[in-house]
Structure 1
Amino acid sequence: MAVQKPSKGSITKPTDSAEEVFAKEGKVAGHILEKLDDEILNINRMQHGLRGASTMKQPSIEEEIELHDSGKEDEANENWHIASEYYKNIDTKAFRQYDLACDRVKQFYEEQHEKQTVAYNIQARINFKTKTRARMSIWEGLEKLNKLLDDSDPDTELSQIDHAIQTAEAIRRDGKPRWFQLVGLIHDLGKLLYFFDSKGQWDVVGDTFPVGCKFSKRIIFPDSFKVNPDFLNPLYNTKYGIYSKHCGLDKVMLSWGHDEYMYHVAKNNSTLPQEALAMIRYHSFYPWHQEYAYSYLMDDHDKEMLKAVRAFNTYDLYSKIDQQYDIEELKPYYLELIDEFFPNKVIDF
């Protein structure tokens, strides 16, 4: 193919920086990347004989009759988003007490809010698309994650695998669908980033928030954003920034961390429904699903996904108790559950 030469007298402009390219073309590029991810998800479902978003394990004829007669099948599939009676009287004020949090938590958020910039987030996504960090099973990932103590969490000092089992067991106890139970088990698995190429914990854990537009006052410790280089950047410090009204959250860059990372890993390797993927992607986006910030960026699809994320958040947050389960006793059940939705036992992280 012939190379077109610049016309006489033309001036060759220097190559735009990554930030400038994203500001000019980010909406188009984001749409293309999201479309490719959707196509990967659809191919996964087709390969494993799935139809639509239904990923429930197929019961035998006898089990189908029993489920139909008992009404439990309809209840599990249609009412999974309804709040459990178990949590209706819980003291919600006992959780997320950041005003009383230790210095470790406050220092974490100061560092996160300073360093989560548009430039960093662009580079983090490039790194994700261009490298494989490890190849292992989901359960091996959970065992590896057990070595991490989350500096951003004021509610528990338990290990990550203990929190994963607590969440999954609470969802299982309430008779929620099997895919919902699996989300409880793997929702924080993206924290494996800490052992790969993270810069610390600030780009792995903590509440998430959009970059590329004005930081909301509803984000925890909002004053600490004043030292973020994007805070005074006219490209990024307006209400919509590089986005547009009701563009949809799938077009918005959330601060890079375990949610976004695990969302892409699950989307590329599992047959989980879109509600499950939304739970994984947005479960740390507290300014949105608890404080209703950034509603002006939502589209109709986001409104449906918000219901799913809020349903999951109840279990993620309020299952943090001192009780510990016998992991080895529960392991066979969850290995079977993992195999049901992750057809390849060894996956790329």
Structure 2
Amino acid sequence: PSNTPLPSSQTLLRCRELRSAIVSPFKMTIIIEQPQFDAAAERKVAGDPAELVLDGGFTVPDSNAFGHTFRDYDAESERKKTVEEFYSVNHINQTYEFVQRMRDAYGRLDKTEMSIWECIELLNEFIDDSDPDLDMPQIEHLLQTAEAIRKDYPDEDWLHLTGLIHDLGKVLLHPSFGELPQWAVVGDTFPVGCAFDECNVHSKYFKENPDYHNPEFNTKFGAYSEGCGLDKVLMSWGHDDYMYLVRSPSFLAFAVAPWFIAKR
């Protein structure tokens, strides 16, 4: 039913025990065992800010895993060097021609087929080099995102699901999907085919991108016409654009918003 809430992270993590029934590559039915709680059960209080509890939900921490504010790319932390090196390679290599080539190759969707949960489990193998806030496997990020959204928007079940699947495109890092380098998979996205904006993270590295010096692509609108719409704009290639290409007509077909959130 449309009003059925998204299962909690704890329920999802028990999928294998409950023998999930997979019905198609991009649609999953989960058989959920409904727990019974005594009305007088002792209230569980979160001791750890990131702990998931039955009655308290996900608690959003005030700082990242390193004690800094979120998305602070200049903070002196053990992640700073890795993140900046990632963006230097990413900004140099993400060209209009590269994006066209990758969209053509991966738009065929001929790599493999697997369920959503199988994709989520693949991400347990990877840590995102572009993320200054987290050095844990991506499966943690997906579950944290879904739980945080569910806490803030309890009635928007489509948004909870969007949070859970928004980074599934990072399976491109896996050999089953081509084992692309991190610079071609993760990181913040940005339009290609037009001038690079200085608001992009570590924008100074764009100066070494061939398109930066190409008059066809280094103007405000570049290869596009004003007001053409986001669906006509090519974004840097990676997990977001791949997830946008993978979308199925039968999957979240009721809303356009999830796919533009994914493409962003």
TM-score (norm 2): 0.70
Deviation at 1:264, TM superposition (A): 2.1
Question: In structure 1, what is the equivalent of residue 123 of structure 2?
Answer: 145
Cα displacement (A) at 1:172: 2.2
The one-letter code of the counterpart of 2:213 is: L
* Counterpart in the other structure of 2:219: 238
C-alpha displacement of 1:271? 2.4
Counterpart residue number, 1:75: none
**Structure 2: gaps (5+ residues):** 6-58
Change (3 A) 1:57 1:264: farther
The runs of 5 or more residues in structure 1 that have no matched partner are 1-54, 60-85, 283-349
Q: CA deviation at 1:171?
A: 2.1
Distance 1:270 1:247 in 2: 26
* Deviation (angstroms), 1:95: 0.7
Aligned partner of 1:189 in structure 2 is 168
CA RMSD of aligned residues (A): 2.3
**Residue 230 of structure 1, CA deviation:** 0.8
Higher Cα radius of gyration: 1
The residue aligned with 2:203 is 222
Letter in 2 for 1:180: L
Deviation sequence 1:224-259 (CA, Å, 0-9, x none): 011111110110011110111111111110001111
Structure 1 residue 58: deviation in Å?
7.7
- Between the aligned partners of 2:85 and 2:72, the Cα distance in structure 1 is 15
Q: Distance between the aligned counterparts of 1:169 and 1:185, measured in 2? A: 8
One-letter amino acid matched to 1:218: C
Compute the displacement of 1:134 (Å): 1.3
Q: 1:131 to 1:267 in 2, by over 3 A?
A: closer
Distance 1:209 1:162, change over 3 A: same
The Cα offsets for residues 13-51 of structure 1, whole Å up to 9 and x where unpaired, read as xxxxxxxxxxxxxxxxxxxxxxxxxxxxxxxxxxxxxxx
Letter in 1 for 2:148: A
Number of matched pairs: 201
Q: Aligned partner of 2:258: which letter?
A: A
Structure number with higher helix proportion? 1
Residue identity (%): 45
Residues 181-240 of structure 1, C-alpha deviations (whole Å, 9 max, x = no match): 111111110000111225401110001111100011111111101111111011001111
Counterpart for residue 256 of structure 2: 274
Query: TM-score by structure 1 length?
Result: 0.54
Greater length-normalized contact order (CA 8 Å, ≥ 6 residues apart):
1
